[in-house]
Structure 1
Amino acid sequence: MSSESLVLCEDRDGIAVITLNRPAQRNSLRYESWTELSEALTSCDARAIVLTGADGFFSAGGDLKTGPAHGTGPLSPAGRVEHAQHVMEQLRAVAVPTIAAVEGAAVGLGWSLALACDLVVAARNAFFSAPFVARAVVPDGGLAWRLTQQLGRQRASSLLLRGNRLSAERAHECGLVTDLAEPGAAVGTAMDIAAELAESDSGAVELTKRLINSAEAAQLASFLPLELAIATVAQQRSAAAAGRAQFG
């Protein structure tokens, strides 16, 4: 693996721009990516945070080459899923506004990450998708819960079971994207919104975020352990199928 940071953090006049930095892999997320994102969230002292991906693509989701397994415990087959859950909880809990700036696409776990932010800005030509079933795994990062809450069972089922792409404009109509931007301008639009929010009273912002988070916290907290257990079973099934194929 390259020694270059997987996550970059830049201060722009009091606004932190955090960039997923694996452009050659469409900013897919390794276990270490989540560790570096957690460190960036912990260390940055900003009035707002803009989260984006390098080279005009938000994220292709979990890195298929490295896989989700990590560690040796009973849930280790989905260790990256558990780590991602914790970091997204950290992202939701930060005291300042967080804005995802999506160019290109947010796919799978990358879509989960974008939706963990307070606001989502997307370029008009961007798209979202959740091709988990096609990859013989299950949705993670709370995506099944969030899409079902937002869209209802049938529309969420279509996206999650069929892996259909959802255009940025359609996502905006559904309430999954808060603001649209012209192609290439998602970060700029997110920065403008961040600057606007940074002028607000910081205490009022933090307390309002606490109220919003409390509305979903109990349901999400009960959902995530089930998601992790099911993801572990799915990975074990996938590994067993791969073994049978290898040895006939």
Structure 2
Amino acid sequence: MTDTAEDPLVLVEDRDGVAVVLLNRPAQRNSLRYESWTQLSNALSEAADARAIVIAGAEGFFSAGGDLKSGPAHGAGAMGPAGRVEHAQQVMAQLRAIAVPTVAAVEGAAVGLGWSLALSCDLVVAARDAFFSAPFVARAVVPDGGLAWRLTQQLGRHRASSLLLRGSRLPSEEAHRLGLVTDIAEPGSAIDEAIAVAREVADADPGAVELTKRLVASVEAAGLASFQPLELAVATVAQQRSAAAAGRATFG
């Protein structure tokens, strides 16, 4: 199964006032193309008036991260080699700025840029058998979506370095122990549990929820804002190196 022009890359379902935003490339394990981020941005705008938002992947898998076949390049400008990275940064900033509660529902796995997306939500619900991983180095690319910053802030340099340099899997229960997951669900029930959690938070005073989200966001805003331009520059250099290596392999 492949994508067709008729297949929406992102779906939005209304669950009694909770908007469930589904990444919809199940045959590709919901990997993210440039267009996926555009449709996700549109979906978030559409869902902004919901009581809460849950982000999940279709058919039992959150996301395998950036689409390796399409690559991170988009556009012809100086930053074109990392165009998708920049677009993803912007959409995740949009997600963090939403006034209502946002919850990631992780079944299967959240890999690479998919992990970054999950961590951009206010809360993360993960199935007991799910895992997280960041296999960027093994793919000859660098971490993006703010993942290096987030993991280092949360886990410290050495544990973050182990996850990022070795690309090892982090089981959901260990992620929960480390504070990267807020709730554990039984396999197959992460979306339902995330909806329940979202409703619990949404039942509080909306103004208090929004203002609390603003306080939390302000804590990370300065650090992440200063980190992202460097991430974008490094991603551009990594893509150029990858393209050069491919050229040497073809012609050398």
Whether TM-score is above 0.5 comes out as yes
Give the Cα–Cα distance (whole angstroms) in 2 for the partners of residues 184 and 73 of structure 1.
Answer: 43
Q: Aligned-pair distance for 1:11? A: 1.0
1:178-214: CA deviation from partner (whole Å, max 9, x where unpaired): 0000000100110111111121111000000000000
Give the Cα–Cα distance (whole angstroms) in 2 for the partners of residues 198 and 182 of structure 1.
Answer: 23
Aligned counterparts, 1:143-162, within 5 A? 143-162=147-166
Residue segments in structure 1 that go unaligned for 5+ positions in a row? none
1:14-56: CA deviation from partner (whole Å, max 9, x where unpaired): 1000000000000000000000000011112201000000010
Determine which of 41, 45, 62 is the counterpart of 1:42.
45
Note if 1:192 corresponds to 2:196: yes
Aligned counterparts, 1:99-248, within 5 A? 99-248=103-252
User: Which amino acid in 2 is paired with 1:29?
Assistant: L
Superposition TM-score, scaled by structure 1 size: 0.99
Counterpart residue number, 2:97: 93
Greater mean alpha carbon deviation, residues 196-205 or residues 96-105: 196-205
Determine which of 7, 10, 19 is the counterpart of 2:10.
7
Give the Cα–Cα distance (whole angstroms) in 2 for the partners of residues 43 and 49 of structure 1.
Answer: 11
Residue segments in structure 2 that go unaligned for 5+ positions in a row? none
Partner SS, residue 37 of structure 1: helix
Give the Cα–Cα distance (whole angstroms) in 1 for the partners of residues 121 and 199 of structure 2.
Answer: 16
User: Which amino acid in 1 is paired with 2:213?
Assistant: K
User: Which amino acid in 2 is paired with 1:215?
Assistant: V
1:73-115: CA deviation from partner (whole Å, max 9, x where unpaired): 1010000000000000000000000000000000000000000
Give the Cα–Cα distance (whole angstroms) in 1 for the partners of residues 201 and 172 of structure 2.
Answer: 23
Give the Cα–Cα distance (whole angstroms) in 2 for the partners of residues 4 and 136 of structure 1.
Answer: 30
Counterpart residue number, 1:30: 33
Aligned residues: 248
Give the Cα–Cα distance (whole angstroms) in 1 for the partners of residues 160 and 203 of structure 2.
Answer: 36
Give the Cα–Cα distance (whole angstroms) in 1 for the partners of residues 10 and 30 of structure 2.
Answer: 9
Determine which of 49, 52, 59 is the counterpart of 1:55.
59
Partner SS, residue 158 of structure 1: helix
Q: Aligned-pair distance for 1:63? A: 0.2
User: Which amino acid in 1 is paired with 2:41?
Assistant: S
Give the Cα–Cα distance (whole angstroms) in 2 for the partners of residues 50 and 110 of structure 1.
Answer: 14
Give the Cα–Cα distance (whole angstroms) in 1 for the partners of residues 168 and 7 of structure 2.
Answer: 34
Determine which of 15, 20, 23 is the counterpart of 1:17.
20
Counterpart residue number, 1:72: 76
Q: Aligned-pair distance for 1:12? A: 1.0
Q: Aligned-pair distance for 1:229? A: 0.2
**What RMSD over aligned residues (CA atoms) do the two structures have, in Å?**
0.5
Give the Cα–Cα distance (whole angstroms) in 2 for the partners of residues 5 and 38 of structure 1.
Answer: 13
Identity %: 78
Give the Cα–Cα distance (whole angstroms) in 1 for the partners of residues 131 and 17 of structure 2.
Answer: 30
Superposition TM-score, scaled by structure 2 size: 0.98
Give the Cα–Cα distance (whole angstroms) in 2 for the partners of residues 13 and 203 of structure 1.
Answer: 20
